[in-house]
Amino acid sequence: MLKYDVESNPDKKNWCSLLYGLLCTLGFNDAWLFQDIGDSVLSLSLVKQRLKYQFIQNWNGKLEESSRAIFYKHISSFGFKPYLNI
């Protein structure tokens, strides 16, 4: 019912429309169209990996566009910072 709702009212927002948008941005349109993901363990690891890569790309893009992080973008890389353990 929610799938039909998303397809018939694309401007309406609910958790199903947000899931559809996420699947599309991650390249999993087939999972939405066929309502099947195949191997769930493999698919979940691919989703996690793509979410991580997408987040890192967005982070790097925002860092490059920032006028306030001119020095920081030359010395930093994405990853866990050891000072956070202290």
Pair 46, 79 in one domain: yes
Q: Which two tokens stand for residue 29?
A: 């349109």
Q: 33 vs 39, 49, 50, 69, 80, CA distance in Å?
A: 16, 21, 19, 42, 37
Q: Within this chain, do residues 29 and 49 fall inside the same structural domain, yes or no?
A: no
Whether residue 30 is found in the same domain as residue 44: no
Q: Are residues 32 and 42 in the same domain?
A: no
Residue 64 half-sphere exposure toward CB, CA atoms < 13 A: 6
3-state secondary structure the chain: CHHHHHHHCCCCCCHHHHHHHHHHHHCCHHHHHHCCCCCHHHHHHHHHHHHHHHHHHHHHHHHHHCCCCCCHHHHCCCCCCHHHHC
- In this structure, are 41 and 71 located in the same domain? yes
Work out the pLDDT band at 67, boundaries 50, 70, 90: confident
Q: What is the pLDDT of residues 1-31, one digit of tens each?
A: 777 888 888 788 888 888 888 888 988 888 8
84 and 45 share one domain = yes
Residue 85 tokens, joined: 């353990």
pLDDT at 23: 87
Claim to verify: residue 15 and residue 49 sit in the same structural domain? no
pLDDT band at 78 (very low <50, low <70, confident <90, very high): confident
The fraction of the chain above a pLDDT of 70, given in percent, is 99
- The domain tally of the chain equals 2
> Quick one: pLDDT at residue 29?
82
Q: Are residues 52 and 81 in the same domain?
A: yes
Residue 59: domain span: 37-86
